[in-house]
Structure 1
Amino acid sequence: MNYTDIRLEHGFMAEEKIASLTEHELHTHDALEINIPLENSIRCTLLGGNYDAVPGDVFLFRPYEPHWNLIQEGNEPARWIMLLFSPAVAAQLPGGSKLLLPFYRMDVPPLIPADSPQAQEIGRLALTLVEEEKTRQPAWELQQFTALLQILVQLHRFYEAYESMQPGNGMDAADIVRSVEYMIACGTDEADMEEAIRLSGCGKTRFYGKFKELTGVTPHDFLIRLRLQHASHRLRMTDDPIVRIAHDCGFGSSSYFNNRFKAFYGITPRQFRKHGSRVPEQV
């Protein structure tokens, strides 16, 4: 399995892609990713199975989730829009933690069907992102940022509507979601685990079990991943000293930051910054 380092010049990127039917090893990255097929169908491949997405569908890849896209067998090469962005883009906005929630949950479907009004609006906005990149009219970067935020709002509205229609939608999931949202909102600040447990309304043991069921990782690992995402964004986008980044992103010391970063990315923060996209394979 490969870790792919994606450099996002403005914190996000929108590209029109063309896929042929080629096998490829699954890869991971720390960016949040949205794919929207435009022409012919694509197969979104995950460790847990495949999803077939038709034109107009919207598909979310969670950060660090091994994945790859193929065209469905027998189809002509497929065309789609790939949108990548750093959580730092939305994390500091009012309500930004709510907008990021769908990318960290394992209990909601990653595919938004083309016939939903939210998917249709997201498709329109994605085309705007690509067109602004091509034409670069005055204030095009601001227009792109505005379109990205509108896409995140549409995602949030879709999943709110989805949950409201689920039969037997109990309070356990909703309360754990509040805990996840709290941790996302904390960002690089120290999260109070007792407060997260209180928000869930669960006992400690049940909280840890339900949290992992919802996100796929423990609360501690979830916080580490969030901080690493913010740190990798700073390493790509700034020349700030690594010691300062470690401190600002909630790591107690630069040595602890280096160890956690290397354990996850396979290289040190200094190597990550120096080598750009030439990141070694991570098994």
Structure 2
Amino acid sequence: MRVEPSQLVPGCMLLNDVKGKSNRAIISRNTVLTEEHITIVEKFLIAFVDVGSKLSDGTTFQPKAIQQEKKQVKQTNDSSNLAFDEHYHYVVQNYKKLFTAWQNNIKVDMPTVRKLVIPLFKRIDQDNVDIFTLHQYNTKKDYMYHHCVGVGLLAMYLSKKMGYPSGESIQIGLAGFLSDCGMAKISPTILNKTEGLSAIEIDEMKKHPTYSYRMIEQIPTITQIVKLAILQHHERMDGSGYPLGVKKDKIHAYSRILAVSDIYHAMTCERLYQSKQSPFKVMEELIRDKYTHFSHQVVDTFSKSLTNFSIGKR
């Protein structure tokens, strides 16, 4: 029978080879599938596989129900039908699918990216969302995907608070959303490591802004300023950042917004290798570094917005 990868269970017997985009067999026919095999099939974005009606132990194969998230795709055409947290989680799950595609050398598709994330951006003002508590949605396992969506939302919100017009704020938000797409070019062994990274692994991680830039460099619908912001989002005002070590006036205003949004979301989230900190503790550190690592104008706007949002909240 022909089923989707999400319907597979360990013990399924393949009737035909599973082939990737190069038309080479990823898994050979007659293989008894394990959890690892099923994960590989999902990672390679295989649409369907042919398996026997019996499992390896002789019992009848009962396909899993098709994942509910696929049934919700039509609902997102009218995002007003979803609560903000539901819409947010939908975008995170679809970012995860995009990221898997990028790991398989599929190019960044900007129409798909824009259609996915811009409706969520537009809800920030409409729904009066507490933008500074996005970390509460994060899970340690899927931190990377939450981080990209969170940075995009924070950057878009912060740029509006700084007086940027709506269209420009969306561009800055898109820069945040795509700033870590280059992580798809980093070895999964490094990305999924739960203990501290070695010096060599840290050096490799520091290449991700360059990888991100290369992935979007030839896309004509992305402005050069947005591309520069993606490349520079880990630069610091005193020249201590990466990948180029530029400082002060060499760092674009968009990049400065992304830098603050990135560090705030990262430090307030639980990660595989590091515990989360409270928003106020993170803000203290940003204020401490606002004349060295970060733009003081961006940090001042950020801290003022956080204070106003937090009055009357626990």
Higher relative contact order (CA 8 A, sep 6+): 1
* Higher fraction of helix: 2
Q: Which has the larger share of strand?
A: 1
Q: Give me the TM-score of the superposition, normalised by structure 1.
A: 0.31
Larger Rg: 2
| TM-score in terms of structure 2 length | 0.29
